Amino acid sequence: MGSSSSNMDHIPDAQHLMQETGFSAAHLVRLYERFDFLDKDDRGELRLDDFEAVSELAMNPIGDRIIRAFFSPGRETVDFPSFVRILAHFRPTDTNRTRNGRNGAQPEPANSRTNKLKFAFQLYDQDRDGKISREELLQVLRAMLEMQVTEEQLQSIAERAIQEADLDLDDTISFDEFKKSLEKVDIEHKMSIRFLE
């Protein structure tokens, strides 16, 4: 796959990116190749249809939400740094980092538990108002459930979900409530993938 050094030249700000996201050089090169592969017209950035060309994503019930998560609001393309930054959320958590504690100067790494949770939260919260409304929850539920579930069942499930999580009784789930409801779940494991080199 070519020597990494020559490939790294293609990637701008490689060092900076590596530091920011925590990916190694090999990871970065591979991600770059993947980015390039997805980028059909060799534009240097990805657009919606490039994402949609990945057919497995099409078959994913929440595929469209995942795709949308890559696009920052207002932007219609994804360049390589943004691509990598989003993917950095899914790096396995470095346990030693958390153990050493973080000095305040260092920003929380992209793959921290909170940031992973934030990513998941934003999959629900499409209008980015910081809360998951009942409607948004219903949309996700509908996407994830098969046809056999009736509306009433859906409604009651959503109702129950909100009841469980909603602590301040505003009928929506805020990020903190979201985080709290998942406190017993091993997010670091669930929201990580092993990136290939």
Judged by CB under 8 A, the residue of 3, 5, 106, 148 near other proteins is 148
Contact between 92 and other proteins by CB under 8 A: the answer reads: no
Question: Among 90, 130, 82, which Cα is nearest to 109's?
Answer: 90
Judged by CB under 8 A, the residue of 8, 20, 71, 118 near other proteins is 71
Part in contact with other proteins (CB under 8 A); list of ranges 17-25, 91-99, 100-108, 120-128: 120-128
Contact between 115 and other proteins by CB under 8 A: the answer reads: no
Name the residue nearer to other proteins (CB basis): 99 or 183. Answer: 183
What residues from 9 to 28 belong to the interface with other proteins (CB under 8 A)? Answer: 10-12
Q: Give the span between the Cα atoms of 102 and 180, in whole angstroms.
A: 22
- Judge whether 89 and 119 are in contact, CB under 8 Å: yes
Name the residue nearer to other proteins (CB basis): 25 or 141. Answer: 141
Neighbours of 185 (CB within 10 A): 11
The helix (run of H) or strand (run of E) holding residue 31 is helix 25-38
Instruction: Tell me how far, at minimum, the Cβ of 185 lies from other proteins, in Å.
Output: 6
SS3 82: helix
